[in-house]
Structure 1
Amino acid sequence: MRALVVVNPAATTTTAKMRDVLVGALASELKLDVAETTHRGHGKELGAQAAAEGIDLVVSVGGDGTVNEVVNGMLENGPSPHLPTLAVVPGGSTNVFSRALGRSRDPVEATAEILESLRAGRTRLVSLGTASASGCSAAPVSGAAPPVAAARADADADAHATDWTPPRWFVFAAGLGFDAEVIARVEARRAAGRRSTGPLYVREATTEFLLGRVRRRPAMTLHLPGEPALEELFLCLVSNVSPWTYLGARPVNPSPEASFDAGLDVFALGRMGPVRMLHTLRQALAREPLPRGRGVHRRHDLEELSLSAGRPQGWQVDGDHLGTATGLRVRHVPAALRVIA
């Protein structure tokens, strides 16, 4: 079996020693090529190359961002039974997709599980999602002061209001609004040398909630087929798996019914203050999560949805901030990719 191992050396927990151990274990049973990513988008290039060359197996070693790039490359021309099978070795900070597949959090143990599944022929098809955005701008992550960045985003949104980006695949989540703004804050801290940790996300989320205008001036509207529009939202999470993310070992689970075997789930929040937000967060962190209450909107097993915004909002897929947008179209794609089970 021919396999390509895509390693992101910049991922949070990926080290040269770990890479060598993993590659050695995989090479004992596979005809192996190894490629390290060197720039943003390189994982997508390598995934597309693997699909074009008829590689049997692609192993992503890194975080969820690495998985997303590899999958977008593999699916560049859409789903096909002739695409490589995907395996994921966790090397990031949260590794949501790997954990959703049942992989161990330890990369060496996860590699052993992958090899055992390969010997047994255990694979499965999983559903994924796609997201397209309009009114796009990358200004808010360009390093400009917030007022300058907001002005640039507004100008770009006006210039590209009717232009939709090509669909971008996501494996576990997409979002518009508050969550994307938090991710942008974390990415800025990481660019300045900070390590991605649970406390860093909590700190930046708290700052954005208390000081940011996204929550204080909700500008989003959720459009669902056959339903009235839901207006004045400041957060909208679209989930393909449960949980949505983790704080260390603790799952954050706003959409507990989300599954690879169903359509997409939505969790959206309307105007609310700190006390109600803390109550909603406690519900999502509970052992048996069931977020509900005034301003909380949940939907299960959707095939499509769209979002519009009165001003530019951050948008993200699989925890990767992609700038701002004023519109988002999201679609469910069943049986999109075969993975090692």
Structure 2
Amino acid sequence: MSKRTKIRFIINPTSGPKSRIDVPARIQELLDHARYSYDIVYTTHAGHAPELSHEAANAGVEVVVAVGGDGTVNEVARGLLNTEAALAILPRGSGNGLARHLEIPMGIEGALRILNQGHITTIDSGEINGHPFFTTAGIGFDAYISSVFAGNKKRGLQTYVELVMKEVRSFKHLPVKASINGNDLDTDCFVMAFANAAQYGNNAYIAPEADIQDGLLDVCLVRRLDLVKALNLSYCMLTKQLANADSAEYFKTEYVTVKTEEPMLYHADGDFMGKAQEFEVKMLPLSLKVLVP
């Protein structure tokens, strides 16, 4: 009999909207037990998942499954960077950006089917001021929304959209100095998004041409935003198109530096990281193994 692959499920019990699904029972029912031997562990606090995933990788676990949303996926993946263990995802959050980019089904049955039948590949990751990210990072309005969303008791897409609509008119662009591909930009910034994957989550495509294995960041710069530009950008994000040049500019690069006159908010994979006046954003090419369809 062939040796079974060791697999660990890391469950964030607080991720995403409330659900009556008994995840451990579904895992027991649907997992291919001829292929996998598994255990289940639970996170108890922020920053716990990287410890659990890195511990698993060091113990010879071959696949580590993040059961949660984008924040949980980020934490689990951080612990697996540059190891032999592969990340898998059972999406349980509100955005599920990396899972959607990798074409992982949103339902638990479909995601477990991919786990049973899928194969392992290697993808890039990014880093902003030392914080790893796997879908997007950014400064400006999207980071501001992340900071507000983090303190909101309500979760989900509707809450996120309501916050955007409420805050977009009052948020002000700020002057920044950026270096992209050796070219200096002295510009206003409403949003500067750094994309490894194509979307934030919920199929909102901030960088439709992003390739998660090309070793390049896709940078989307929105200098100023009025109603017309906001409508164009929103439509293009929802239809996976590049916005017109009046609304956004796009760059591909391995490395970006940004300096600001006053501290700006920033995020990594939708998690608010704080404020800074200098930003260094770079790629970590082919640094994470993932299980995909």
Partner residue, 1:161? none
Gaps of 5+ in 2: none
Partner residue, 1:54? 60
Counterpart check, 1:202 vs 2:153: no
Q: Extract structure 1 runs of 4+ deviating beyond 6 A.
A: none
Q: Is the 8 A contact 1:232 1:271 kept in 2?
A: yes
Partner residue, 2:134? 171
Partner residue, 2:10? 6
Partner residue, 2:205? 253
Counterpart check, 1:38 vs 2:44: yes
Deviations 1:178-207 (A, max 9, x none): 1010111112112xxx2x222221221122
TM-score (norm 1): 0.79
Counterpart check, 1:188 vs 2:188: no
CA 1:297–1:51 in 2, change beyond 3 Å: closer, same or farther?
same
Partner residue, 1:158? none
CA 1:228–1:115 in 2, change beyond 3 Å: closer, same or farther?
same
The code of the aligned residue for 2:138 comes to G
For the aligned residues, what is the CA RMSD?
1.8
Q: Distance in 2 between matches of 1:322 and 1:291?
A: 27
Greater shift, 321-330 or 290-299, is seen at 290-299
The number of residues matched between the two structures is 285
* Aligned residue among 177, 185, 203 for 1:229: 185
Deviations 1:242-277 (A, max 9, x none): 23322xxxx222311101122110101112322322
Partner residue, 1:265? 218
Alpha-carbon distance, 1:16 to partner: 5.9
* Aligned residue among 194, 207, 226 for 1:238: 194
* Aligned residue among 219, 237, 251 for 1:299: 251
SS in structure 1 of the partner of residue 105 of structure 2: coil
TM-score (norm 2): 0.91
CA 1:63–1:329 in 2, change beyond 3 Å: closer, same or farther?
same
Q: Is the 8 A contact 1:9 1:15 kept in 2?
A: no
Q: Distance in 2 between matches of 1:110 and 1:324?
A: 36
Compare the two structures and name the one with the higher strand fraction: 2
Q: Distance in 2 between matches of 1:291 and 1:84?
A: 38
Compare the two structures and name the one with the higher helix fraction: 1
Deviations 1:151-178 (A, max 9, x none): xxxxxxxxxxxxxxxx221111111111
Alpha-carbon distance, 1:45 to partner: 1.0
Alpha-carbon distance, 1:22 to partner: 1.9
Q: Is the 8 A contact 2:179 2:256 kept in 1?
A: yes
CA 1:92–1:67 in 2, change beyond 3 Å: closer, same or farther?
same
Gaps of 5+ in 1: 133-166
